[in-house]
């Protein structure tokens, strides 16, 4: 069934993630440990009925070619994305901050700021500082956009941040390239223990990068 999901994801793009719940990319046994461009497949999740998950495919075996940005404890991980792939995935957000900054008209730096308590603090200010140091570009910082759990859900925070917190279980981030521009979408997911199902809300960050 993964082949069918892959084709629909590539053709429908944003519409696909608005229709389907993803459990979030967190399994180190089926995902790359380094950032880069890899091939992925979308398949049914074994953990959550009715949900999908992203796994790495063997090199040269089809699937979805995408930029990949993993999470690492206690630090900021980043990758520059341009025109070498049309899609972007990152590890799911669970207390982390995601930030994207247009470096020029062709390249966007994607950053995943760890949400754990080691290395980087757990406040918006400490994560902003860590991301700003990683970016090291004042002009690009002013154009950057972020998702942060420490901001009130749905509200604008400092440095053009949107909150994804509240009563959620995780947040997924997807990137889609159209021409030179990257469009970032995020999906907040809440697991209802009583009904044993996942409720989700998918939105687009309010501006495009590139």
Model pLDDT, residue 60: 63
pTM of the predicted model as reported, rounded to 2 decimal places: 0.87
Q: Tens of pLDDT along 138-153?
A: 999 988 988 887 554 4
CB count, 10 Å around CB of 65? 15
d(CA 161, CA 12): 27
d(CA 175, CA 183): 6
Q: Tens of pLDDT along 5-16?
A: 999 999 999 999
d(CA 141, CA 145): 8
């Amino acid at each position: 069934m993964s082949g069918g999901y892959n084709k629909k994801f590539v053709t429908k793009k944003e519409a696909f993630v608005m229709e389907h719940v993803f459990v979030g990319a967190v399994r180190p046994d089926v995902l790359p440990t380094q950032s880069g461009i890899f091939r992925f497949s979308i398949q049914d999740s074994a953990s959550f009925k009715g949900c999908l998950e992203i796994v790495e495919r063997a090199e040269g075996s089809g699937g979805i070619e995408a930029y990949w940005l993993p999470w690492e404890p206690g630090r900021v991980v980043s990758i520059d994305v341009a025109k070498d792939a049309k899609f972007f995935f990152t590890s799911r957000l669970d207390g982390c901050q995601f930030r994207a900054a247009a470096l020029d008209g062709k390249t966007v730096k994607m950053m995943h700021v760890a949400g754990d308590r080691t290395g980087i603090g757990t406040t918006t200010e400490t994560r902003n500082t860590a991301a700003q140091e990683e970016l090291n570009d004042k002009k690009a910082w002013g154009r950057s956009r972020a998702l942060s759990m420490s901001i009130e859900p749905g509200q604008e925070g400092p440095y053009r941040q949107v909150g994804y917190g509240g009563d959620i279980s995780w947040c997924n981030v997807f990137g889609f390239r159209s021409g030179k521009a990257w469009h970032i979408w995020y999906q907040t997911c809440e697991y209802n223990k009583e009904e044993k199902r996942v409720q989700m809300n998918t939105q687009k960050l309010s501006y495009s990068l590139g």
